[in-house]
Amino acid sequence: MADFLSQYSIQRWLEMCPQGYLEDTVYGHSPELKEPVILVGNETLREESIRTTVQLVVGERCALAASSGLVNAAPDFPSKRFLATQTLDEARHVEIFTRRLFDLGVKEDDLESTLDEFANPNLVKFAEVLLEKVEAGDFIAGVVGQNIVLEGMAFSVFEMLEAVSREANPKFAETLTGTIADERRHVGFGENRIGSLIREHPERKADVEKMQAEMTYHMLATFADSFRGNAAVVEETRAVAAAEGFGPETAEWHGTDLAAASPEEMEAILADTVLGEFKTRLGRIGLEYQSPPVPA
Amino acid sequence: MSEFDPHALAEEDFLEEVRSVDFWFQAVDGYLRDRSYGRVDGTPEPVMEAGERDNLITTLCNYCVGETAALEASSGLVVIAPNRHAKIFLATQVLDEARHLEVFIRRLSDLGVEDPEHEIELRANPNLVRFKDRLLEFVADRDWDAAVFAQNVILETMEYTVFRAHLQDADPVTAQVLDGVVKDERRHLGFGENDLGRRLVAMPEKRERLAEVRAELDELVLVTFEEVQDSVGVERSARADLGGEYLAAVERLGLT
């Protein structure tokens, strides 16, 4: 364990992150890049971008509260040290996505009301399930909830958004690329550190799996709201973008062309990808994926 | 082009700037780049007598107690911080405190300590441990004002003062490590005084509560000061000034 945890030192984090892939960026992107004019100027496109970005801020605020809250619950210094780097990473993500809301025209004074207006209620419940475990000082459940479930979801969502934005919005795509690199590190820690703790405490499996099923339920409900439940808006946004000549001709992700896929198809590919990752990662730490009831 | 001066910004823009992760990246880049665990590669390990080495180990162990307190307190404060600027700043402080612990533990290993965590427990100053326990109680009670005062004013002033004094006489490697830590502590002190100063102006009734906290913690702080300075070897004649820095910080907040 000691060798694996030594890979998560702050020295290494400094070299990889601020002195590595984030070098020469400002709020996560090259200084010269801006939000596309069409995105800020067209009300339909702008509102959809705000809606999407609000979900990212809500998720990252949850991750910041969870990672900082888990520092004190961590059983050893190397784990505390890793969680300190994750705390800073999550704070950075909150900062860059909040900054994007400002770039999209949200006023500082309207930030909280905008978050309240657009935050998906199921995503808020998803966060509450995790933060309840963190608040109780439950390190094992907290790390599984945060570094496997939340980060696993965020990882795929960011990848999907990056694929769609790569051509049309390089600023947002660059911002996402840095966060994806961070999330990869976080997921790796969760898998490596928790595997040994689950082996030491097999009696915790049922409780942790129950939490995973509950979080998964709210995650799938969030996806359903965002695609099927929002299909008319998604289609309208796509039509407006096409009329303005904005957006990629194709955006391939996991074998699906996101530029042409229906909202139902997009939801299906995202859910399948995330659940596939969950099964693999949970299996690696000795847990069995639990299917939640399908959201209505 | 003239150099960027954040103090020229309006208040809200100033907070947006200086309590950002981006600002932190730029700040630490100036003094952490090209260092490994706080030390410049190639600096030779100094030769020390056994007694001198043992004193340094005791001192570093107690620095670790202080840094552990700061790590656990700052991480606990993130969730109760009253606004997003404070949350972001505290997240950078969490990273700083964990780094301090990392570089001091590494220094202990350099000095031949095989199990630093065990050694820290053995050599921990009981007054500092009591201070840590009390600080963490404030955090657990979600008492923002008391916790920020205890951590970012009292503890940080003590560390800042002791580390700077130690820096004057430290061996070259320890001095390099302390140099980076002191630069971080200055930022933390600035946050504590700025945040509390603003809140005390807006809510002067909080002054009385913080004066009580100060009265409770003063003895622990000053005794710990004395004992740590004994182990560092600070001259008696210099000690009044060190205590004076702590007293000046609390007086700036009007907590006399």
B213-235 pLDDT, tens per residue? 988 888 887 888 788 777 777 77
Chain A, nearest residue to B100 by Cα:
A10
Q: Would you place residue A127 in the very low, low, confident or very high pLDDT band (cuts 50, 70, 90)?
A: very high
CATH code of the domain containing A120:
1.10.620.20
Residue B30, pLDDT score: 83
* Three-state SS at A29: strand
B22 shares contact with chain A (CB less than 8 Å): yes
Characterize the bridge pairing of strands B35-36 and A252-253: unpaired
Q: Do B97 and A19 touch (CB under 8 A)?
A: no
Q: Do B99 and A10 touch (CB under 8 A)?
A: yes
Probe site for chain B from A6, A8, A80, A111 (most B CB atoms < 10 A): A80
Q: Per residue in A45-55, pLDDT tens? A: 999 999 999 99
Q: Do B95 and A87 touch (CB under 8 A)?
A: yes
Residue A3, pLDDT score: 64
Instruction: For B131, list phi and psi in degrees, rounded to 5.
Output: -60, -45
A10 shares contact with chain B (CB less than 8 Å): yes
Exposure b/e, B193-220, CB count within 10 A at least 16 = b: bbbbeebbeeeeeebeebbebbeebeeb
The total domain count for chain A is 1
CA triple A134-A278-A3, angle to 5 deg: 70
Q: Per residue in A107-120, pLDDT tens? A: 999 999 999 999 99
Q: Do B102 and A68 touch (CB under 8 A)?
A: no
Contact present, A127 and A211 (Cβ < 8 Å): no
Query: Which of A 15-74 lie inside 8 A of B, CB atoms?
Result: 18-19, 22, 26-27, 64-65, 68-69, 71-72
CB-based contacts of A293, cutoff 8 Å, min separation 6: A217
Asked if residue A292 is part of any domain, the answer here is no
- Domain encompassing residue A179: 2-284
Residue B11, pLDDT score: 66
Q: Do A85 and B98 touch (CB under 8 A)?
A: yes
Asked if residue A295 is part of any domain, the answer here is no
CA triple B110-B179-B117, angle to 5 deg: 40
Q: Would you place residue B237 in the very low, low, confident or very high pLDDT band (cuts 50, 70, 90)?
A: confident
Q: Which of B12, B72, B84 faces A72 most closely, judged by CB atoms?
A: B72
CA distances from B73 to A102, B134, B160 (A): 31, 10, 17
Domains within chain B, CATH numbers bracketed: 11-25+44-252 (1.20.1260.10)
Q: Per residue in B196-217, pLDDT tens? A: 888 888 998 888 889 899 888 8
A106 shares contact with chain B (CB less than 8 Å): no
DSSP element (H, E) containing A85? helix A77-103
Q: Do B12 and A108 touch (CB under 8 A)?
A: yes
CA distances from B153 to A104, B87, B96, B149 (A): 38, 17, 16, 5
Residue B7, pLDDT score: 56
**A44 to chain B, closest Cα gap in Å:** 28
What number of residues does chain B have?
A: 256
Asked if residue A7 is part of any domain, the answer here is yes
Chain B, nearest residue to A29 by Cα:
B22
Q: Which of A14, A80, A87 faces B78 most closely, judged by CB atoms?
A: A87
Q: Is the pLDDT of residue A100 over 60?
A: yes
Q: Per residue in B117-167, pLDDT tens? A: 999 999 999 999 999 999 999 999 999 999 999 999 889 888 888 898 899
Contact present, A182 and A89 (Cβ < 8 Å): yes
Selection from A93, A101, A139, A95 nearest residue A117 by Cα: A101
- In this prediction, residues A25-37 reach a mean pLDDT of 94
- The interface pTM score, or ipTM, of the predicted complex is 0.92
Rounded CA separation A150/A186 (Å)? 10
Rounded CA separation A171/B188 (Å)? 32
Asked if residue A293 is part of any domain, the answer here is no
Q: Which of B79, B87, B94 faces A84 most closely, judged by CB atoms?
A: B94
* Three-state SS at A257: strand
Residue B2, pLDDT score: 47
Asked if residue A296 is part of any domain, the answer here is no
Q: What mean pLDDT, rounded, does chain A reach?
A: 92
